[in-house]
Amino acid sequence: MRKIPKPPKADDPRLAVKVGSVTFPNPFMVASGPTVKWKEQLVMAEACGWASASLKLAFDPEPYISLPPRYRYFKKEAYHAFTAEKRLTFKECLQLLQEGRKLTRRLILLANITYIGDKPGLTGWIEMAQQAEAAGAHVIELNMCCPNMSFNVAMTESARTEQTGASMGQNATAVSMITEAVKQSVKIPVFVKITPEGGRIAEVAKACYDKGADCVCSVANRLAIADFDIENPKQGPYRLQDEPTLACFSGPWIKPLALRDVFEIRRKAGPGPAVLGTGGIASARDAIQMIMCGADLIGVCTETMLKGFDFLPRWLKGMSDFMDRHAYQSCRDFRDLAVGRITSADKLTLHGGYAEVDLDKCTGCTLCEAVGHCNAITIVDKKSHIDRTKCTACSTCVEVCPEEAIHMVDAGVLEKKS
Ligand SMILES: Cc1cc2nc3c(=O)[nH]c(=O)nc-3n(C[C@H](O)[C@H](O)[C@H](O)COP(=O)(O)O)c2cc1C
Ligand code: SF4
Ligand code: SF4
């Protein structure tokens, strides 16, 4: 890890976000994962200006899968995949909370927890939350999202009896019961981090809010199969691991799905409740998009794994500059801007038009002529010719052309068909 930098200049007060009783100096959180496992990482995160950190998932009792980490970042595809991961014991979590509180001044600490024991009712969850609160957690984050535990096992072999993470997170009744019990047992805010697996994220989020959750967090992770060698399919793409396996995907590739998760939650929950959006955030611009899709807070994991923590001051400046340009006084001023604009497919306003070629730029490479769903393009005398009467204005050829020789001509709004 790099040397601890000088603390950042004063916070931009416009970036502060209040959730429940806690004020976050800015929306950025180091999301639970391998960069929030030791006290040194917490110190570094605070020094780089991060407002909060959600500690690595802790299980009580000992997690039934906890292996040395196996990660791979697929640069070209821009996805990160992990197959094996070391979780914290609850004792380690409590110690980290205590040390973190001693060593940091303003970093808001979330305890990311899962109970898998056999204490009666919801006692196990309640006791974990209470002990985390006593150890110094500012927020409890219930982990209803990890896809690489029982959900992974169920997808590939037989289901386990312990339903944790993404298996449990699809069950709105179970999640909301735990949320309610924990909420009634601690004074600090309760966040619930839920899974998109199962396709019911907005419904589960609503159930959590109804039972008092202070914030619902999206995780974005999906289980998927990474690129592998077709000459040796029995060997997965992971180093120092024999078998191929379903892996937990994150990173820039996942951002479009993460934006959708946040949009879905916000749309169903309305403007009131807080949402923490996580998944593929790798710039201030990404974060602004996430806020426009409904997020109050922003979680970042993969980017911190690859680059550490010290890019944050650039992102904070990017946010402040953006707010200056638009005269926004708080993130709330641009939160949800995309939510109101995202329109259902049956209500779209389409413009008629056609594609047109700039013959001076066209090199006659024939790539546009090859477009499989188009019969409007022919190459005549080494130049592309587009028949307007056959052009459906789909616009694929614009991106296909390597010379940027094609543009769309707008012929005005098409009449809507009912
Ligand atoms: C290696 C790894 C370990 C993770 N461990 C946890 C965890 O312990 N608890 C949790 O809630 N999320 C965990 N996550 C999920 C991240 O917090 C985050 O929600 C997800 O990776 C999407 O964000 P990203 O694209 O910025 O990584 C983990 C992600 C990765 C890549
Ligand atoms: S816009 Fe679509 S239909 Fe029209 S020329 Fe291009 S690819 Fe063909
Ligand atoms: S892809 Fe572009 S450069 Fe190539 S033929 Fe078509 S218009 Fe010309």
Q: Please state the rounded mean pLDDT for residues 309-327.
A: 97
Domain CATH for 350: 3.30.70.20
CA 17 to chain centre: 18
Report pLDDT for 408.
98
Domain CATH for 306: 3.20.20.70
Q: Is 48 helix (H, G, I), strand (E, B) or coil?
A: coil
- Is 394 found in the same domain as 281? no
| Ligand 3 center–CA 397 separation, angstroms | 8
Higher pLDDT, 324 or 168: 324
- Is 402 found in the same domain as 259? no
Ligand 3 atom nearest the C-alpha of 406 is 7
- pLDDT tens digits for range 360-370: 999 999 999 99
First-to-last C-alpha distance (Å) of the chain? 60
* Statement: the pTM of the whole predicted model exceeds 0.85: yes
Q: Is pLDDT of 396 > 70?
A: yes
For 372, the domain range is 345-413
- pLDDT tens digits for range 18-55: 999 999 999 999 999 999 999 999 999 999 999 999 99
| Ligand 2 center–CA 395 separation, angstroms | 5
- Is 359 found in the same domain as 329? no
| Minimum CA distance residue for ligand 3 atom 1 | 401
Residue 414's φ and ψ, nearest 5 degrees, are -80, 150
Q: How large is the angle between the packed helices 201-210 and 172-183, nearest 10 degrees?
A: 30
Ligand 1 atom nearest the C-alpha of 219 is 19
Question: In sequence order, what are the residues at sequence separation of 6 or more whose Cβ sits closer than 8 angstroms to the Cβ of residue 134?
Answer: none
- Is 266 found in the same domain as 334? yes
